[in-house]
Amino acid sequence: MDRIRLVGGNELNGEIVISGAKNAALPLMIASLLTDEPLVLTNVPRLADVKQLERILENHGVDIAVHGRRRGEAEGVGQRMTFHAADIVDTTAPYDLVSKMRASFWVIGPLLAREHNARVSLPGGCAIGTRPVDLFLYGLKELGAEIDIDEGYVVARAPKGGLTGAHITFPKVSVGATHTVMMAATLARGVTVLENVAMEPEITNVAEALNAMGARISGLGTRTLTIEGVDRLHGATVEVIPDRIETGTFAMATAMTGGDVLLRGAQPTHLEAALEVLGQSGVEITQEQDGLRIRRNGNGILPVDIETNPFPGFPTDLQAQFMALMTKANGTSHIRETIFENRYMHVAELSRFGADISVDGQVATVTGKPTLKGAQVMATDLRASVSLVIAGLAAQGETVVNRIYHLDRGFERLEEKLSRCGAEIERLAG
């Protein structure tokens, strides 16, 4: 199993091209199931999760093509891919595929809308909490679906004539449920109103893509979406937005090590809460024409208290990275995790660097130290794994991060991007 070896102490200086957002690319790929015409996606990141979802879609009968670079295209641009679900040959998403990635469960919405039936395994994914699918099923039932659980599979059927629009209020904000029910409602008869939906930029990226395919969705970027059902959707060409979590991760890595890095393609409006927190910690953030510039001179890192919340709040997917940053702060900070009940598994691994972190329920207290020391550590989930890289970049001596398959799920060419900016980092095979 591959590992990452790094030696800390180098400032980061240079430029990092921000990849396409994994959390937008995956639902956009799934949206291809809604039409029998080709859906072309550009700026698709090269990630293990993307490859896994390709296998799942191919199992349903989707033809997938990856296109080469075009003349004049900038280096670092993501893949251009075509997804063509001309004929859905299988409406079952089996356990051996779905269990490896939670987002693959979302195929249930398009399959139910277009084929009027679906049999999808209950999902797997990172071990950061139970993350039940009850909100998904609640929304689909409100659209008229009949749903049973049979030996670990969700079996869903639409009534004769298909799904029907409804007024649905989610009792809790859920990104996955918003994606799934929104996609299903595009082909439902009548009007669907979804209240208390997620507002993440990735939701808007998908909604805009659906509209480009002929859907009628209004209220984008708000807590209420109105969807007028249509008979069919057509093909379109859609660009995946830049990854705000990767942006925040590299911004925190720069803050941790010092230096000056341009994050090319970063969209600051997608990350305002996290950028505000970074500014409070003493980091200089400048918006430029082609991205965000992150600088930290010789001054120390200031402690800041945060609480994770749904967008536009501080993202839970940056909590572990921010905790790593606070281990070097000049004082004590507090982190309250409100989204997932088991997302502090990285605490034990960060402590191996000598970090001073204690956890009481949902709150982690981090007392910064002037020096961290390199260590052998193990990744526990996708975002936690990169927090260990951030700590290792600033630690004295050598750090080895084990089980980095988590990193490959969500970060494209991480070692290459960091090494180009001066980090001493390499991948060790096996």
Annotated binding site for UDP-N-acetyl-alpha-D-glucosamine: 102, 131-135, 172-175, 317, 339
Strands, E assignment, 276-430: 284-288, 291-296, 306-307, 332-336, 356-360, 363-367, 376-378, 398-402, 424-428
List phi, psi (to 5°) of 408.
Answer: -65, -20
Q: Say if CB 82 and CB 65 are below 8 A apart.
A: yes
Catalytic residue among 31, 118, 126, 198: 126
136: left (phi over 0), alpha (psi -120 to 50) or beta: alpha
Contact by Cβ (8 Å): 150, 193: no
**Closest alpha carbon to 158 in 199, 182, 187:** 187
Cis peptide bond prior to 312, omega within 30° of 0: yes
Structure tokens of 115?
Answer: 């084929």
For the question of residue 126 being annotated catalytic, the response is yes
Beta bridge partners of 413: none
Backbone dihedral region of 312: left (phi > 0), alpha (psi from -120 to 50 degrees) or beta? alpha
Kindly give the residue spans of alpha helices, DSSP state H, lying in 99-146: 108-115, 134-142
Sort strands 356-360 and 191-195 into parallel, antiparallel or unpaired: unpaired
Instruction: Count, in order, helices (H) and strands (E) of the chain.
Output: 14, 24
Grouping H, G, I as helix, E, B as strand and the rest as coil, residue 420 is coil
User: What is the Cα 186 distance to its own chain's centre?
Assistant: 23
Amino acid residing at 339: I
Two structure tokens written together for 73: 């295209």
Residue 309 in 3-state DSSP?
coil
SS (H, E, C) 384-416: HHHHHHHHHHHCECEEEEECCHHHHHHCCCHHH
Residues annotated within a binding site: 22-23, 102, 131-135, 172-175, 317, 339
On the 0-12 / 13-18 / 19+ scale of CB atoms within 10 A, 334 is middle
Classify the C-alpha dihedral 200-306-334-324 as positive or negative: positive
Enzyme catalytic residues: 126
